[in-house]
Amino acid sequence: MAVLQESYITGDNQYTEIYGVVWRGQTFTPSVSHTITQVDLKLYKEGSPGTYTISIRAVDGDHKPTGADIDGVTGTTQGNDLDTDTDGAWTEIELSAGVELTAGTEYAIVTRAISGDISNSIHARVDDSGTYGDGLAVSSVNSGGTWSVIAAIDWMFKEYAGDLIPGDSPPPASNVSYSKKLVAVGNDQLWYESSAGTMEVLAGATGDIDCTVGLDMFEAFGKVFVANGTNLKVADFVNIKITTLDIESHPPDFQTILTAAGGAKMIVDYITALTGACTIYGKLITTAEFGAEAVTGTDDDGNAISFTGTAQTAGPHWYDWTVFGNDSTYGIMPSQATLGCNYRGRAQLSGDEDYPYQWYQPRQNNPWDWNYIANDAQSPIAGGNSDAGEVGDLVIATIPYKDDYMIFGCAGSLWYLIGDAAESGTIQELSLTEGILGAKAWCWDNAGNLYILSTSGLLKIPPGFGPPENITLESYPDFVKDIAFNSSTDRITMAYDREGNGINICNTTLADGTNENWWYDLRTGGLFPDSYPEECGVYSAFFYESVNPAYKGLLFGCFDGHIRFFDPTAKSDVLTGDTVEAIDSYVDLAPMKLGKEGKEGKLTSLVGVLAGGGVTGGSQADSSDVYYKIYGEISAEKVIERMYAGTNVRASGTISAPGRVRGSMKKRKVKAAYLGIRIGNLAEAETWAMEKLLVNAKESGRIK
């Protein structure tokens, strides 16, 4: 079976003549090595041109055919049999034998009708402003003796492979049939990933968003739904749209199939009005596209749909999130919301300023139907979380867990919905004494544990909703107090890093990006404080499962409008203008008791063993040098106090890397009851790792 390889089939608007000594052709460059067996040209005749012959020839550096027909192979068709319709017709011309072509090499399709003349000629259809990028039209007036290039023209042509050359068979272009796009909002604009690694503004959205009020967005049905106060919007990446000046008497319903006169079909998703002029959004399910033509279909009641539509427009689109057709028969949406999520195929909203305890769910798998009157298993439904007769707690976060649970993080309590509220679902309290700190103060890990930064600490809630465990209660009782979160000035963001196997907890001041952050290491259960430059202050976070591995990972939406990630190769933080800021990293090894009770001890020497094999370079990655500071006091708490203040350093210096450097023992004498050692680094473009510190100490006298 012939397999199409190179072709150019657009812009057909002109012709070129072939007759007698006037030979013409088109060069092309195969992207895959193959044996060419057939060429299709769009031809018609004038008079009786006789036999029309094609061949393949090599091409010189000036894009001109050179030498004889490759392998002497030609293909012919009887020109007298062609039609005279000047639109031309695709004409298959098989070669007498295959000709092997090499990928990336330019060849020429050379054609002639040697018994013809100017009144008995072959006419080949061309584009007189061709855009084929891998070849040019060529012409000869001396039977192929010399050639000239006609750069502006490209022929209508298709060339086919009979067999792909073994070893050069083309791999599939991709083994995925879907794409993922990152979407981000900032400066009252919505941006999306137009191609891997490139973010582009969605023009229609600009000005429709107000970043000074609460905003949440979520993916459902190939779209992104935006809840931004009274701005309830849709960024539609899956549908085409057509418009009509009059939808006539029977508008389409949700999921009606519309058919264009030319054969294009779409499944209707959303329509802006049910009468008069409107725009229809739907999923194109044919190769054929909608043109400006008659469109027909049948609505749910069996009525014939018929209207004249415009040519389709591809997405992404931006439009208001309303009920279907903006028609009250589909209910009424909440007038405002700042929280949204997809739960069981329901595009749930909450955060209505007037009804902050309320949540709203449209029909399952239909975000345009908010008619709560329906009474079926997929019916729209709204509710609150409280015991009977009480006004519910303020909903601050909505947390869907697969199709199983919907958790409502409230100001002073936690609730969860099991199953579907419209189909036997129940609402139960998770905690009546702990609330959530913010809309994004939660995340899931890969084991199904839910982590919530609550008013009492960091809660871990096991799968199935066992009792919440406060995992900072013993190790850090003042954790929440020390975070000093102020909901009116700060934003809490939590995100699980499946690559680093930990949780980022970020508290960023909205006004200036100053921040306080924590890394909770799930492998050790330890909390590690972080600080980032103001530009890098985290406003939002998302683990992006990009199809392109280069963009997959935990991403942070930062204070300066840049999307960042933790780059293991970056030894400094990268600022707005690509300048860098050193990472001030340190660890306090303290307090260590040097002597027995009531006695002091004396540190005599210190040896640092840092990462690296001991030889710069080599197979083991090398640490940078680190500084050390030694503190010694008569009480443990005083050591800690000194270390926090950075005062009364008893000894300091540099521990050299890599590895353990011979002769690097630091002989320092520090007499104290308790010892503290800080090691760290605050130099740009440096990073470090430690194996261990070796400290020699001996007992000294009584504490005086």
Partner 1 sequence: MQLLFPFKGKHKGLPAGKQPAGTSPNLQNVRVFDVLDDRGRGGQRPGMAKKYTQQIGGTAYPIVAICSVTVVN
Q: Which of residues 535-574 bind partner 1 (CB under 8 A)?
A: 535-537, 539-542, 544-546, 551, 553, 555-574
CB 628 within 8 A of CB 639: no
Could you give the count of Cα atoms lying within 13 Å of 301 in the half-sphere of its Cβ?
A: 6
Give the shortest CB-639-to-partner 1 separation in angstroms: 8
Phi-psi region of 419 (alpha: psi -120 to 50; beta: other; left: phi over 0): left
Distances (CA, A) of 468 to 212, 459, 465: 34, 6, 8
Q: Is 267 in the site for partner 1 (CB under 8 A)?
A: no
Q: Give the H or E element holding residue 582.
A: strand 580-582
Query: Which of 576, 656, 664, 700 touches partner 1 (CB under 8 A)?
Result: 576
> Residue 50 or 659: which CB sits closer to partner 1?
659
> CB under 8 A: which stretch of 164-172, 216-224, 384-392, 416-424 binds partner 1?
216-224
Query: Which of 31, 148, 187, 255 touches partner 1 (CB under 8 A)?
Result: 187
Give the shortest CB-650-to-partner 1 separation in angstroms: 16
Nearest to 510 by CA among 534, 480, 477: 534
Query: Which of 532, 650, 659, 670 touches partner 1 (CB under 8 A)?
Result: 532
Q: Which of residues 491-510 bind partner 1 (CB under 8 A)?
A: 500, 510
Q: Which of residues 645-704 bind partner 1 (CB under 8 A)?
A: 674, 677, 680-681, 687-697
Tell me, rounded to whole angstroms, the distance of Cα 457 from its chain centroid.
Answer: 32
Q: Is 202 in the site for partner 1 (CB under 8 A)?
A: no
Looking at residue 637, the DSSP 8-state letter turns out to be: H
Nearest to 7 by CA among 160, 158, 161: 158
Give the shortest CB-530-to-partner 1 separation in angstroms: 5
Q: Is 490 in the site for partner 1 (CB under 8 A)?
A: no
- Cα separation, 557 vs 211, whole angstroms: 14
Give the shortest CB-376-to-partner 1 separation in angstroms: 28
Give the shortest CB-228-to-partner 1 separation in angstroms: 9
Beta strands in 455-501 (DSSP E): 457-461, 469-470, 490-497
Distances (CA, A) of 585 to 528, 530, 640, 678, 686: 11, 9, 17, 10, 10
Q: Strand 585-593 to strand 599-610: parallel, antiparallel, or no bridges (unpaired)?
A: unpaired
Give the shortest CB-667-to-partner 1 separation in angstroms: 16
Q: By rule CB under 8 A, what string of x and - marks binding of each residue 415-454 to partner 1?
A: ----------------------------------------
Q: Is 331 in the site for partner 1 (CB under 8 A)?
A: no
> Residue 44 or 221: which CB sits closer to partner 1?
221
Give the shortest CB-83-to-partner 1 separation in angstroms: 38
Q: Is 471 in the site for partner 1 (CB under 8 A)?
A: no
Query: Which of 70, 137, 202, 235 touches partner 1 (CB under 8 A)?
Result: 235
Q: Which of residues 637-656 bind partner 1 (CB under 8 A)?
A: 637, 639-640, 643-644
Q: Map tokens 């999520």 to a residue.
A: 341
Q: Give the H or E element holding residue 644.
A: helix 636-645
Q: Is 396 in the site for partner 1 (CB under 8 A)?
A: no
- Cα separation, 369 vs 280, whole angstroms: 16
> Residue 326 or 470: which CB sits closer to partner 1?
470
Query: Which of 32, 590, 630, 655 touches partner 1 (CB under 8 A)?
Result: 590
Long-range CB contact pairs, 555-563, < 8 A, 24+: 555/182, 556/495, 556/504, 556/506, 557/184, 557/186, 558/513, 559/508, 559/512, 559/513, 559/534, 559/535, 560/513, 560/535, 560/536, 561/186, 561/187, 562/535, 563/182, 563/184, 563/199
**3-state DSSP of 232-295:** EEEEECCCEEEEECCCCCCCCCCCCEEEECCCCEEEEEEECCCCCCEEEEEEECCCCCCCCEEE
> Residue 32 or 697: which CB sits closer to partner 1?
697
Give the shortest CB-135-to-partner 1 separation in angstroms: 28
Distances (CA, A) of 461 to 213, 400, 413, 444, 445: 30, 14, 14, 9, 11
Q: Which of residues 124-183 bind partner 1 (CB under 8 A)?
A: 177-183
Computed on alpha carbons and rounded to an integer, the radius of gyration of the chain in Å comes to: 36
Nearest to 396 by CA among 445, 426, 357, 362: 357
Task: Please give the size of the binding site for partner 1, defined by CB under 8 A.
Answer: 127
> Residue 390 or 596: which CB sits closer to partner 1?
596
Q: Is 229 in the site for partner 1 (CB under 8 A)?
A: no
> CB under 8 A: which stretch of 20-28, 211-219, 252-260, 368-376 binds partner 1?
211-219
Instruction: Give me the sign of the Cα torsion angle 162, 163, 168, 171.
Output: positive
Q: Which of residues 600-639 bind partner 1 (CB under 8 A)?
A: 611-612, 620-623, 635-637, 639
Q: Is 456 in the site for partner 1 (CB under 8 A)?
A: no
Q: Length of the chain, please? A: 704
> CB under 8 A: which stretch of 4-12, 261-269, 381-389, 520-528 binds partner 1?
520-528
> CB under 8 A: which stretch of 127-135, 349-357, 380-388, 584-592 binds partner 1?
584-592
Give the shortest CB-566-to-partner 1 separation in angstroms: 4
Give the shortest CB-232-to-partner 1 separation in angstroms: 14
